[in-house]
Amino acid sequence: MEQQGKRNNNNLIMIISLFIIIIVVAIIIAVGGTAKSVTRTLKEQTEANIKFDNNKINVYLFYGDGCPHCEELIRFLNSLPDKYNSYYDLYTLEVWYNEKNSQLMKELVGQLGKEVKGLPCLIIGDQVLFGYSESMNEKIKKAIKEEYLQVDRYDVYKNYK
């Protein structure tokens, strides 16, 4: 009788352990399944695409179609850890063949007290970065994160309108 009670206890412990393992695996799958990865591309957008989200900052990338430095920059942005996807929305505006986007770039850069010095032109908050090289990677990551953490986030386009 005592032996059967021990077997029942062992069976109960095994069932509870198995149940806990199943729950843990289900949680891991659920959390892993909700991770959202964003692949950013140099697709031409216009002012009409720009939206505002109180939970993210807007980053504006003015680029030239076929510009190798612009393509390198977009590859870098794609390589950022997934957590950055929750920090910002990227607006890619082609300027070599789109006069309205070119004019918008000049006006937004002017709003920040600067002149356009080349492409790519990346605007993060009140910072403007021209050109691209790997040496800029940390500066870009820092600018995105710092602007995201600001209480009073600055959006040059919102202030422009």
| Domain edges within the chain | 1-35, 47-160
Q: Which tokens hold the place of 31?
A: 């959390």
Residue 45: the pLDDT is 85
DSSP 89-115: EEEEEE-SS-HHHHHHHHHHHHHTT--
CATH number given to 47-160: 3.40.30.10
pTM of whole model > 0.85? no
Residue 30: the pLDDT is 61
Between the alpha carbon of residue 64 and those of residues 38, 128, 138, the distances in Å are 22, 16, 23
Residues 6 and 112: their CA atoms lie apart, in Å, by: 76
Between the alpha carbon of residue 117 and those of residues 80, 98, 120, the distances in Å are 25, 18, 9
Per-residue pLDDT of the chain (161 residues; tens, 9 = 90+): 566 666 677 777 778 877 787 877 766 666 654 445 667 777 878 888 999 999 999 999 999 999 999 999 999 999 999 899 999 999 999 999 999 999 999 999 999 999 999 999 999 999 999 999 999 999 999 999 999 999 999 999 988 87
Residues 76 and 67: their CA atoms lie apart, in Å, by: 15
Helix (H, G, I), strand (E, B) or coil at 128: strand
In sign, the C-alpha dihedral spanning 70, 73, 79, 81 is: negative
Residues 32 and 23: their CA atoms lie apart, in Å, by: 14
Residues 136 and 116: their CA atoms lie apart, in Å, by: 18
